[in-house]
């Protein structure tokens, strides 16, 4: 049985039965073999739905495409809590060398979503078998996290209207942090991501006669250099922002000055006002440089990911749950935010929510390979920590007043 919500935090290893950790490891290895990319997670969703159905959950599939929502009620309380995981992998050819490697060419679980899902299934099993809560827990399995489309798809399909929750919790593993440690913070924890494309149109011609052309490559190069000053000279220093030009292509040749040049790039920020400033300055600089050279320019700026902003009350509950599950020395509730992005941010705009980082390890071969790498490997040694935290987060949230 789980400890009561009033027990003090005590150090120790996660109190998860070894047999359940073994089941979660087997689930993860099965899932790792069948990675599927955004909105094509049919086998993954079916696998998870079968497990949850076997655990006694009321399972609904096809939410927002391939999403799954499974609910379990104990007692008579009307409070609800959600635990969320992702379903999708990445379009990467695996080079991890594990014996349970991807059987789907060109697809891989290179972000650990298989681990997140296995931990959530483990917590679902523990909650179903041991109980210890009064209310309803909802397991929310989201498609298409990687492109930042799945959360919106589930919301548009009535996610919280059909399956209401009072609070929502999620886990993301982080290589480079000590294995099994948990890190979170109130407020912004992951950045929003915007993308931009700048298309320059000049007048190409022979490389021997540059005086007869409007060189799109020179214009694009000046735009790239000018954009490097935006964060340093346009963004208030107390705010955080990243602006990266990531690709520049032209239709030129060795002896031909190009007519067209295309710059693509990415910005990150935590504040919608900063995002709007970056968009405005990219447009102004691109138009100004192009005009100075007699060229034309088209700028497209798209908002891909919302910032992930943790609810302070949910963070308090998550910290309490983590200390009881993992021990106080393993928990940091004042962690630094990171500039990576997560589709969880869309869900966190609609309900009080908390995303936590779970350390995956620091050494290569033991969880330290970066996310989205072809040789990334989720560290099975952290499965128990994720299961224990998720179980305790449910107990804490359902024992707390409805927000």
Active site residues: 88, 145
Rounded Cα gap, residues 128 and 138, in angstroms:
12
The angle formed by the CA atoms of residues 229, 338 and 25, to the nearest 5 degrees, is: 145
Residue environment code for 100-129, b if the CB has 16+ CB neighbours within 10 A, otherwise e: ebbebeebbbbbbbbbbbbbbbbbbbbbbe
Rounded Cα gap, residues 271 and 166, in angstroms:
25
Instruction: For residue 224, give the H/E element and its range.
Output: helix 216-227
Q: Cβ(239)–Cβ(274) under 8 Å? A: yes
Instruction: For residue 172, give the H/E element and its range.
Output: strand 167-175
Chain-centre distance for alpha carbon 61:
22
Rounded Cα gap, residues 113 and 119, in angstroms:
10
Instruction: For residue 358, give the H/E element and its range.
Output: strand 353-361
């Amino acid at each position: 049985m789980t400890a009561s919500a009033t027990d003090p935090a005590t150090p120790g290893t996660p109190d998860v039965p070894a047999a359940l950790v073994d089941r979660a490891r087997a689930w993860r290895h099965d899932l790792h073999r069948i990675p599927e990319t955004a909105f094509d997670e049919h086998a993954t969703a079916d696998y998870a739905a079968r497990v949850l159905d076997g655990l006694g959950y009321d399972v609904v599939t096809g939410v927002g495409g391939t999403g799954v929502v499974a609910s379990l009620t104990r007692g008579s309380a009307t409070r609800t809590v959600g635990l969320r995981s992702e379903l999708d992998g990445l379009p990467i050819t695996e080079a991890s060398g594990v014996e349970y490697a991807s059987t789907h060419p060109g697809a891989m679980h290179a972000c650990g979503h298989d681990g997140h899902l296995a931990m959530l299934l483990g917590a679902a099993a523990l909650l179903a078998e041991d109980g210890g809560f009064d209310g309803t827990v909802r397991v929310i399995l989201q498609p298409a996290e990687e492109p930042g489309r799945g959360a919106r798809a589930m919301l548009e399909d009535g996610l919280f209207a059909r399956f209401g929750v009072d609070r929502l919790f999620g886990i993301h593993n982080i290589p480079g942090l000590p294995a099994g440690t948990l890190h979170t913070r109130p407020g912004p924890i992951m950045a929003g991501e915007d993308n931009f494309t700048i298309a320059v149109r000049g007048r190409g011609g022979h490389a021997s006669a540059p005086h007869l052309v409007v060189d799109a490559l020179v214009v694009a190069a000046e735009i790239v250099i000018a954009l490097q000053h935006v964060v340093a000279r346009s963004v208030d220093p107390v705010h955080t922002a990243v602006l990266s030009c990531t690709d520049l292509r032209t239709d030129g040749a060795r002896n031909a000055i190009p007519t067209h040049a295309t710059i693509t790039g990415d910005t990150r920020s935590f504040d919608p006002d900063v995002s709007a400033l970056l968009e405005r300055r990219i447009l102004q600089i691109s138009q100004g440089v192009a005009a100075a050279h007699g060229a034309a320019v088209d700028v497209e700026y798209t908002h891909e990911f919302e910032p992930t902003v943790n609810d302070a009350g949910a963070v308090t509950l998550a910290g309490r749950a983590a200390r009881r599950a993992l021990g106080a020395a393993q928990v940091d509730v004042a962690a630094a935010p990171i500039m990576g992005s997560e589709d969880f941010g869309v869900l966190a705009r609609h309900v009080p929510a908390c995303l936590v980082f779970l350390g995956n390890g620091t050494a290569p071969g033991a969880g330290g390979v970066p996310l989205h790498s072809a040789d990334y490997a989720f560290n099975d040694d952290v499965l128990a920590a994720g299961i224990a935290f998720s179980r305790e987060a449910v107990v804490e949230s359902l024992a707390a007043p409805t927000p």
